[in-house]
């Protein structure tokens, strides 16, 4: 479908969107016939190796706010983006034991997740290649991060963590950390607009990994049957040059999920365990993550996210909204920063230059019934607003049965 047609279809869907009462976000139905699915970019990362562990070993006001939001909303399944990975899982242990399982100011009752999934990601892992074409491999600071498989200053920075009330089928998990970008049919290989030549030579292009962090299919055995948690965090479509390599990568990272859902023979779509092909046609799933692409605003190639929103296997439901997003978006509009998207649908505030955008998504599959949804972004006069500023993103939740 052409991009302009997809935008029109998305706008039509938004016209039917209803704003959910914020108070329901703190009152999930805990019965066995309903699930609360969520995503939350927590900004729990450090520029230093082991930095997050050291923060969590102390008394992190940041982590307490993130835990308080989770205690208020109490998802059954949640993906945490930007949670630094360490091989010993020490940060995940500390966050669970010292923050989630302790009642936080402004939060709710202690929250325990019996199951979790985390694994290595591409961020900060040296590639041994000159990926930013500055004539050097590695270096210091941003130069080193740019030459990692995914931008990061140390391996595991900006990692991912899935928390679940229900058992995870670890043997059936599929990860796509190592999938080569060039193997995707029709991959958007970046081109230098001045020379017309590919930004990367064939040797580099053939080695590049598609996922800036990783793509995970995490099957969870819930009372509603197995739900495949399709988790990712594509690169922001900015911080590059005229070749727009990050915009192209973001698009194709999103397209990976489209290809995964499409069915058909896909011998190129092989996971890190060398199992090839997409998701079974009768499988239920939820796509979750900070997908770094707004349907109409910002610098992304919007057809990437629109093709997911409009995918025939993705449930149509009212776009999650919040009064805090509407209030913030209207304040920016009053200062001349105008957006095409409805302000109440934004999921994050990215400052006076970028404003608010919808970047975080919870997209359940057809076969579920939508019960409710929202973004934990209270209006500024609500007491819950004191815990909602732990990250520039806000938790998005969807209830299904």
Residue 284, pLDDT > 80, answer yes
Interatomic CA distance for residues 306 and 41, integer angstroms: 21
For residue 9, the model assigns a pLDDT of 41
| Alpha-carbon torsion (296, 42, 217, 179), positive or negative | positive
Specify whether the CB–CB gap between 70 and 64 falls below 8 A: no
| pLDDT of 183 higher than 60 | yes
> Using CB atoms within 10 A of its CB, is residue 11 exposed (0-12), middle (13-18) or buried (19+)?
middle
Q: How far apart are CA 104 and CA 101, in angstroms?
A: 9
Mean pLDDT of 281-295: 98
Q: Is the pLDDT of residue 91 over 60?
A: yes
Question: What was the pLDDT predicted at 108?
Answer: 85
Three-state SS for 244-274 is CHHHHHHHHHHHHHHHHHHCCCCCCCECCCC
Per-residue pLDDT band for 29 (boundaries 50, 70, 90) equals low
Q: What is the DSSP letter of 114?
A: S
pLDDT (tens digit per residue) in 100-109 = 999 999 998 9
Q: Residue 206 pLDDT > 50, yes or no?
A: yes
Q: Decide: residue 49, CB within 10 A, 0-12 exposed, 13-18 middle, 19+ buried.
A: middle
Could you tell me which of 127, 131, 262, 124 has the C-alpha nearest to residue 185? 262
Over residues 188-193, the mean pLDDT reads 97
Q: What are phi and psi of 53, to 5 degrees?
A: -60, -45
CATH class belonging to 3-33+169-400: alpha beta
| Beta carbons of 227 and 236 less than 8 angstroms apart | no
Q: What is the pLDDT of residue 263?
A: 86
Instruction: For residue 379, give both structure tokens.
Output: 């209006």
pLDDT tier, 30 (very low <50, low <70, confident <90, very high otherwise): low
By the 8 A CB rule, do 400 and 38 touch?
Answer: no
CA 57 to chain centre: 26
- Percent above pLDDT 90 for the chain: 90
Q: Is the pLDDT of residue 79 over 60?
A: yes
The structure's pTM equals: 0.93
Strand 174-175 to 284-290 pairing: unpaired
Q: Are strands 370-375 and 396-400 parallel, antiparallel or unpaired?
A: antiparallel
Residue 198 tokens read as 């590919």
What is the average pLDDT across 10-25? 38
Q: Residue 45: is it exposed, middle or buried by C-beta count within 10 angstroms (0-12/13-18/19+)?
A: buried
Query: Is the predicted pLDDT of residue 391 greater than 90, yes or no?
Result: yes
- Provide the 10 A C-beta neighbour count for residue 310: 18
- Give yes or no for a contact between 126 and 116, defined as CB atoms under 8 angstroms apart: no
The average confidence (pLDDT) of the chain is: 93
Question: What pLDDT, on the 0 to 100 scale, is given for residue 32?
Answer: 72
Least confident residue range of 25-39, 79-93, 208-222: 25-39
Residue 28, pLDDT > 90, answer: no
The owner of tokens 């400052």 is 351
Q: Does the pLDDT value for residue 95 go beyond 90?
A: yes
* 393 contacts 359 by C-beta, under 8 angstroms: yes
* CA dihedral sign of residues 27, 398, 65, 85: positive
Least confident of 14-23, 158-167, 278-287: 14-23
Q: What is the pLDDT of residue 264?
A: 87
């Amino acid at each position: 479908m052409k991009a302009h047609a997809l935008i029109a279809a998305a706008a039509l869907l938004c016209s039917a969107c209803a704003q959910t009462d914020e108070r329901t976000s703190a009152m999930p139905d805990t019965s066995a016939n309903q699930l609360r699915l969520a995503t939350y970019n927590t900004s729990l990362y450090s520029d230093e190796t082991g930095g997050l562990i050291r923060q969590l070993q102390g008394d992190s006001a940041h982590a307490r706010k993130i835990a308080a939001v989770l205690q208020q909303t109490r998802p059954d399944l949640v993906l945490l983006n930007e949670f630094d990975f360490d091989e010993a899982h020490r940060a995940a242990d500390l966050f669970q034991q010292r923050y989630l399982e302790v009642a936080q100011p402004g939060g709710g009752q202690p929250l325990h997740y019996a199951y979790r999934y985390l694994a290595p990601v591409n961020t900060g892992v040296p590639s041994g290649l000159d990926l930013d074409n500055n004539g050097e491999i590695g270096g210091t600071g941003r130069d080193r991060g740019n030459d990692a498989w995914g931008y990061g200053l140390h391996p595991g920075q900006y990692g991912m963590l899935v928390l679940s009330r229900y058992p995870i089928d670890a043997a059936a998990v599929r990860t796509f950390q190592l999938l080569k970008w060039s193997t995707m049919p029709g991959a958007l290989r970046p081109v230098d607009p001045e020379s017309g030549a590919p930004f990367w030579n064939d040797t580099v292009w053939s080695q590049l990994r598609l996922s800036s962090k990783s793509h995970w299919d995490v099957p969870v055995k819930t009372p509603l049957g197995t739900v495949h948690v399709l988790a990712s965090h594509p690169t922001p479509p900015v911080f590059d040059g005229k070749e727009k390599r990050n915009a192209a990568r973001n698009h194709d990272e999103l397209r990976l999920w489209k290809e995964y859902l499409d069915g058909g023979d896909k011998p190129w779509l092989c996971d890190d365990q060398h199992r090839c092909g997409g998701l079974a046609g009768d499988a239920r799933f939820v796509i979750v993550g900070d997908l770094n692409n707004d349907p109409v605003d910002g610098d992304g190639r919007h057809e990437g996210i629109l093709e997911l929103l409009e995918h025939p296997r993705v449930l149509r439901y009212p776009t999650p909204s919040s009064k805090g997003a509407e209030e913030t978006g209207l304040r920016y509009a009053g200062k001349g920063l105008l957006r095409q998207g409805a302000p109440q649908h934004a999921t994050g505030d990215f400052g006076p230059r970028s404003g608010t955008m919808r970047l975080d998504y919870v997209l359940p599959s057809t076969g579920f019934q939508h019960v409710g949804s929202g973004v934990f972004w209270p209006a500024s006069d609500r007491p819950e607003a004191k815990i909602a500023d732990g990250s520039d993103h806000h938790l998005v939740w969807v209830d299904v049965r």
